[in-house]
Amino acid sequence: MYTELSTVASQEKLNDHTYLLKVKAQKIAKSVKPGQFCNIKVSETNYPLLRRPFSVCYTEDEFIYFMYDIHGVGTKMLSEKKTGDRLNILGPLGNGFNTEGDYDTAVLVGGGIGAAPFPLLTKKLEGKELITFMGARNSGQVIKWGMKNIVVATDDGSAGFHGNVIECFQSEVQNLENKKIRIFGCGPNPMLKALQKVSMNKYDCQLSMESAMACGFGICQGCPIKKSAGEGYYLVCKDGPVFNSDQIIIG
């Protein structure tokens, strides 16, 4: 884990709501794994007080990329950063996706900004057979940056499959019945809960959970998620954010 005073290299808008931020952060870029995240101080002042967590989207030499939507004051301030601005970044944090092991095909299932960790994961999975299911509300919100072999689902049917991404996955998964697959999921909790249900006792599945993670390493105890076995809770920031789907109960 490092604290780096990084420099903004570029910022672009990918679609109606999604931004891609590129920053120079050499130490983090060399050590981060797919599914890990960083906590970013979006202002040089004490407002907003807390850092904001962002999945690392991609790495390229000494640069790291973050993909995000505007959801509040912190992400609005981040979207206004210009080339040359400085950002204080803490990372890499948490446990990422496990790409090792015995499986034929990697299946990525994402909804909305849940696409954020997939470009780096796609890079890590180079050489594996891979299929990516991406869901969005409409065609203007579809994210494809940095991903491969994409099957799109939109709630309104304006692009690709008409329906949610889990329905899309279920309609296509029979084409993979003769292969040993591993699922990697990231998106809003209702999507992940549905993916957990269809995967239970059937597919090897890992889920990247969303949560407010103020400290990023377990001190504040502010991001609990209930264990599926026994009593007690995991902390999303320290024990996750990636969990095997059978480890957790999604509320």
Is 105-208 assigned to CATH 3.40.50.80? yes
What is the pLDDT, as a whole number, of residue 48? 82
Distance CA 185, CA 196 (A): 9
What is the pLDDT, as a whole number, of residue 177? 81
What is the pLDDT, as a whole number, of residue 44? 82
What is the pLDDT, as a whole number, of residue 230? 84
Give the neighbor-by-neighbor strand order of the sheet with 52-55: 52-55, 37-41, 86-93, 2-13, 18-24, 63-69, 58-60
The CATH superfamily of 2-93 is Translation factors (2.40.30.10)
What is the pLDDT, as a whole number, of residue 88? 95
Tell me the C-alpha to C-alpha distance, in Å, between residue 34 and each of 119, 124, 131. 9, 7, 17
**For residues 234 and 227, is the Cβ–Cβ distance under 8 A?**
yes
Give the global pTM. Answer: 0.95
Domain with CATH 3.40.50.80 in the chain: 105-208
Domain with CATH 2.40.30.10 in the chain: 2-93
- Per-run averaged pLDDT (10 residues), the chain, 251 residues: 94 93 97 97 83 95 97 92 96 96 96 97 96 96 96 97 97 88 97 96 94 81 92 94 97 82
Q: Helix, strand or coil for residue 77? A: helix
